Amino acid sequence: MKLHRNLVFAAVDALDLIFNEQNQADKVLKKVLKHDKRWGSRDRSFIAETVYDIVRWKRLYSEIAEVKAPYSRPNLFRLFAVWATLRGITIPDWKQIEPVPTRRIKGKFDELSKIRKYRESIPDWMDELGLEVLKKSWDNEIAALNKQAPVVLRANSLRTNPKELRAVLADQEIDTVIPEGYKDAVQLVERKNVFTTQAFKDGFFEVQDASSQRVARYLDVAPGMRVADMCAGAGGKTLHLAALMENKGQIIAMDIYEGKLKELKRRAKRARAHNIETRVIESSKSYKKLYNKVDRVLIDAPCTGLGTIKRNPDLKWKLQPDFVEKVIARQADILQKYSKLVKPEGKLVYATCSILPQENELQIKKFLKTEEGQQFALEKQETISPHKTGYDGFYIALLSRQSNHPSENQN
């Protein structure tokens, strides 16, 4: 492979913004890839894949290159040189890149690969926590999370179905397969930019990981129901619910971030989902009137996001140990507050994109022992393993409310 100066420099610029300015990798790449309109899809792929690779293996490469954060520009070029050497790419004679000790780099790689925290390129605290709570399965799970995520689409059943979507994409020279066991999923054979396709503009699909697609179906919705999505965000699962409800009934999509709900509105318009009403949560007044009145409640809870490292490798460096405890407390609080919306005989789904038991089954176990939680029974729960599925790590629990609440008469 011949390296092109402008592409390598673009990758180094992106790494500077991610590592030194603490910017989000996907947002940085979006910006950097617009830099030169002459770049073709191959050029863009090279920049994106190089950046994501170096972000993913930051700790390992830093150790090999003997550099530490904050990274100077020469240090970023050293990280790039390690990445290229380990891929067998010949380094050009550029003044920005020092002479590369190929044998030493490969020797150090072999040596460090025997130690899990370097091999999987993770902070010490994350390795210790993973081992403590997941025991022997931690090895397999973290290795799976370091593999690049496949691109999975959710066929929008308001517009099409997986079989038809495959045919439409095939006409646009995009090869796909239908993964077994996922009713709405279509998976790309090779990574391609699907957002420029006419099928996307016409609302035929959303990009949504296969594990994430299981959440809305867990809620067991039907046309005509009243459903509340309490941590709706930009609405991937909200749109799935609208499709499952055939646009009939009401979905109240709520979130504390107004910007995310604006994005949901844009996506809903494209998907032709008409039964969604968005509401910003400013205080408990925003949802108290819904106490005991909602058929189905979805709590796609804020979490560490550890199950999504495949697609968000920079999360490894952004997460801090104290955040784990904070988010667990927040999840417990959210469960207490939002479970009150479920009417008698209604159902609630609690989901996270984490693989930590304390955010998942242990959180639900704790909730069921509270006064509020005693009104509910656990119908089923599922922990989705990245190692076993190749998709994101997820947890989903379905709870049904048994009878009237002590809070039945509250507004």
Query: Could you list the active site residues?
Result: 353
Tokens encoding 230: 């309490």
Q: In sequence order, which residues have a C-beta less than 8 Å from that of residue 31 and are 6 or more positions away?
A: none
Backbone angles phi, psi at 228, to 5 degrees: -115, 125
Residue identified by tokens 């609080």 is 333
User: In a 3-state reduction of DSSP, which class is residue 36?
Assistant: coil
Task: List strands edge to edge, sheet with 250-255.
Answer: 276-280, 250-255, 226-229, 294-300, 342-352, 394-401, 376-384
Residue identified by tokens 């790494």 is 15
DSSP string across 385-406: -HHHHSS--EEEEEEEE-S--T
51 within 8 A of 27, measured Cβ to Cβ = no
How many other CB atoms are there within 10 angstroms of residue 100's CB atom? 16
> How far is Cα 25 from Cα 20, in angstroms, rounded to an integer?
12
How many other CB atoms are there within 10 angstroms of residue 133's CB atom? 15
Q: Name the residue type at position 193.
A: N
Q: Can you say whether the dihedral through the CA atoms of 341, 234, 328, 148 is positive or negative?
A: positive
